[in-house]
Structure 1
């Protein structure tokens, strides 16, 4: 575990209710006055502005929705300038980096939402003049935020995840609405080997193992941040050269695996292309970012990562995932009740997915 966190707090936060991420499809995206989202002068240079323009059938107006949360034209991604989450931040074309500022969800209400900011793609000043630049803005439901985007196809739709939304809801019937299924599915693109390695049984066992540990860490996906606020000032390692720019009490546990400490926020942010060192609050306000940090830990932490523990042949087993996450306090008889909590959740989830739990369940 990133830090020893056994107490958590239920925290109400604004959340985004999203439709499943659209998948592979190409076409125009039309909006205000029937005009198209357009790359200025069909220029694929990084930083080129993205604007509203009369539809003309050129490649500058052909967008793909490949199922990884991005929207792409001319081989590059729709990108929020400088990773900003502020109202009025412009959008541009940029090399696809996998960052949160390049993630978009096309909702059933025809909004195009950046989950990190929970803001909508917006035509500046409600101006339908050719060349009006696009931006992000607080979602209002107004006509300058409504779009007809490429429809779903055969890409990475939620149905391609080994856990269906129905099964997810069965696993977490009382979950906090912050932890959205669509946010989890969208986050999968950050670590494509997760639940995509090995046989169908192995894939489902890994999904169950991840979600069982998440279940334990968050009180059944109810809690978003650490409960013991007295711990908050303790997660700033001042020996790090970059310090704690968000404040010494800003790096407490958040998200499905309770990301904590300034160095972990920096490492996770660097890996995911998100500035979490300066904006750690994103982990408790963006479902997609929260899930991404959980997957970052699952796929990178420890001498034996939880991912490898479940997929290598022979598998180390679920017990090794516990050892990697919190072995110092739970394994080798230190806290058998906590271990049993994780194992019980894992056995429940594998049963829901219709696979065996395998061996080596305890640590």
Structure 2
């Protein structure tokens, strides 16, 4: 069946490509799983009606398995029961217990709840799955949304302007070709369970990583990050689960800020590229005057930083700085090098700040405190903090004290 595309605009005013009508997506597979865990929409060729899973790995659930018209549709721990089994006959509807996912009263206002209702095929029961992993009602141009960004059980689902946030993302976990580290099952995600598809010893699952960075550059792979973890095994390995989750959220919040949500691999202002060679160093700039511009998750720059990071990692980055923009694992390793070993303008490494409970604010100080902290650039600080607050929520914990610098 051909993919059908149309154009719409998100609530942020950015055009996106919309496609894969829900009926076509689900009917082509007999009903597919939509679950947090993949960078692109994937379809399970052998799937029957199965769980729709998304925000923090929880499932779209019919309250109390009630089949009556008007029963609330909510977020709930995935349990494999009939209350979480969804399919489509090919008419644009999503169905459970033979009834349809329906916008209450055919409402169009922001925050209108969704519920279960007899199928009638009208516009308030039509859904489109997009390339951006939204489930959209075309009549209202609004997304299926977890109310209040709340991951507690029984949180109602609603329609809301499409924002690209994690509480509007839905993925397929039973793909025919799952990515590495994906067990092919429903992702448990956050707030209990084993973190889903996270590798042993890492607190962040691939589904959670995707939820944090739904529009990231393909260069920044989850597999590249997990492959880099061996360079610094103490990262997210100290303290209790809360401490580990806070450190992971803090690291990812800062690299997200540095790269525009992992959108940029290299420094965007090319006019600055020739500024990062300090010729006074005895080793000079063997890769060239303009070779040491910002690259990777922390935008590593200057010849002396490339040498220091390379020496620590056993990689010749002084002569081969381009590895930081061509090898995802190397790029992540340079970010972990800074995080775990460098205090910058601060008084401690970011790793130490998060493991000794000094707070997220101290990580900002260690990364760019000379330019941002103590009131110098509150907007930049706020962007980092907003990332951190969102990411700890995705990881099912709290931000702790001292989040500002």
TM range (shorter): 0.5 to 0.7
In the superposition, relative to structure 1, how do residues 349 and 157 fare at CA in structure 2: closer, same or farther (>3 Å)?
Answer: closer
Does the CA-based 8 Å contact 1:322-1:339 persist in structure 2?
Answer: yes
Q: Is structure 2 residue 350 aligned with structure 1 residue 306?
A: yes
Q: 1:321 to 1:196 in 2, by over 3 A?
A: same
Q: Aligned partners of 2:350, 2:201: CA distance in 1, in Å?
A: 21
User: Which structure is richer in relative contact order (CA contacts within 8 A, separation 6 or more)?
Assistant: 1
1:189 is aligned, of 213, 230, 238, to: 230
Tell me the residue number matched to 2:211.
170
Alignment size in residue pairs: 212
1:158 and 1:182 in contact (8 A); partners too: no
Gapped regions of structure 2 (runs ≥ 5): 1-37, 39-176, 179-196
CA distance in 2, matches of 1:176, 1:161: 22
1:345 aligned residue (387, 401, 404): 387
Match of 2:273 among 205, 218, 232: 232
Instruction: Work out which of the residue numbers 169, 180, 183 in structure 1 matches 2:221.
Output: 180
Whether the 8 Å CA contact 1:158–1:164 is kept in 2: the answer is: yes
Deviation at 1:157, TM superposition (A): 6.8
Answer with 1 or 2: which has the greater Rg.
Answer: 2
Give how far 1:160 is off: 3.0
Q: What is the distance in 2 between the residues matched to 1:308 and 1:208?
A: 14
Select 2:257's aligned residue among 216, 228, 251: 216
- Output the TM-score relative to the length of structure 1: 0.56
Q: Is the 8 A contact 1:174 1:220 kept in 2?
A: yes
| Structure 1 residue runs of 4 or more that deviate by more than 6 Å after TM superposition | none
- Offset of 1:158 from its aligned partner? 1.8
Tell me the secondary structure at the aligned position of residue 251 of structure 2: helix
Q: What are the Cα deviations for residues 263-318 of structure 1, in whole angstroms up to 9, with x where unaligned?
A: 00000000000000000000000000000000000001113000000001xx1100
Cα root mean square deviation, aligned = 2.2
Counterpart in 1 of 2:287? 246
State the distance in 1 between where 2:235 and 2:392 align: 16
Map of 1:259 onto structure 2: 300
Q: Report deviation, 1:355.
A: 0.5
Secondary structure class of the residue paired with 1:225: coil
Gaps of 5+ in 1: 1-16, 18-107, 110-155
Contact preservation (8 Å) 1:174, 1:222: yes
Question: TM-score of the superposition, structure 2-length normalised?
Answer: 0.51
Q: Does 1:335 align with 2:377?
A: yes
